[in-house]
Amino acid sequence: MSSAPAQPLPYDPDPERLPRHVAIICDGNGRWAKDRGLPRLSGHWQGYQSVREVVRAASDMRLEALTLYAFSTENWRRPQAETDGLMRLFVEGARRELKELHENNVQMRFSGRLEALPADLRKELDRHCEVTRANTGLVLNICLNYGGRAEIVNAARRLAEKVAAGEITPDEITDTLFEQELYTAGMPDPDLLIRPAGDLRISNYLLWQIAYAEIYFTPVRWPDFRKPHLEEAIAEFQRRERRFGGLK
């Protein structure tokens, strides 16, 4: 069995140098449960508690955007009992959280091939977007049935359709035009990407958007990830020198 959840850490990020957009890969739920002799879904439910706390912390810190990788296009390969349980968790979590999110001025967005999700979940996602559309605080973007390569293919396909329809010419396609076809259109690119649970890879996440993101890896698994761990990651971000290919 793994050790107890990490204790709060003495980090105090500079509020004047916060990242505008933080992206997190919510990883390690299954391993957290296995270490405790629990079903994998218990890990996902505990990970849901981390989502609640991290969203509150990001909102209190006045981050502009927070993107969470909750379910990938590849996660359908898992046992059906697990994917069905995750869909139920997403529906129930959405129903529980809408009131608090709206009261805290959070604007909801969802990224991914949402049309493939169960109808009751799509209904809840649509309701979140409609109710919070005019909110001006934290933009909370949840990636569901998401894949970075699929996102890029979708954007390329839409631009190809516009070229075929005579709306634009190939020479008019720029980085800016391409970004407008991504799920994250209108959001700043992530400044900081956080990967919990010890794996050192990107896992097909925001492949276009993280071109210049600072990447922070931590062995803490997502079910144990709390506000102090977010603060630690941001403090590390603030210690780094960002050059974007140039010199300082």
Neighbours of 90 (CB within 10 A): 22
Contact in structure between 180 and 222 (CB atoms under 8 Å) = no
Contact in structure between 224 and 246 (CB atoms under 8 Å) = no
From 27, 189, 191, 224, active-site residue? 27
Neighbours of 148 (CB within 10 A): 22
Residues in the chain: 248
Residue 27 annotated among the catalytic residues of the structure: yes
Rounded Cα gap, residues 221 and 50, in angstroms:
10
Rounded Cα gap, residues 142 and 39, in angstroms:
24
From 35, 75, 135, 154, active-site residue? 75
* Residue 248 DSSP symbol: -
In sequence order, the 6+-apart residues with CB closer than 8 A to the CB of 79 are none
Rounded Cα gap, residues 197 and 27, in angstroms:
6
- Strands (E) in 40-173, as ranges, are 65-72, 107-111, 139-146
Characterize 196-223 residue by residue with b for buried, 16 or more Cβ atoms within 10 angstroms of its Cβ, and e for exposed.
Answer: bbeeeeeebbbeebbeebbebbbebbbb
Q: Find how far residue 171's CA is from the centre of its chain.
A: 33
Write out the catalytic residue numbers.
27, 75
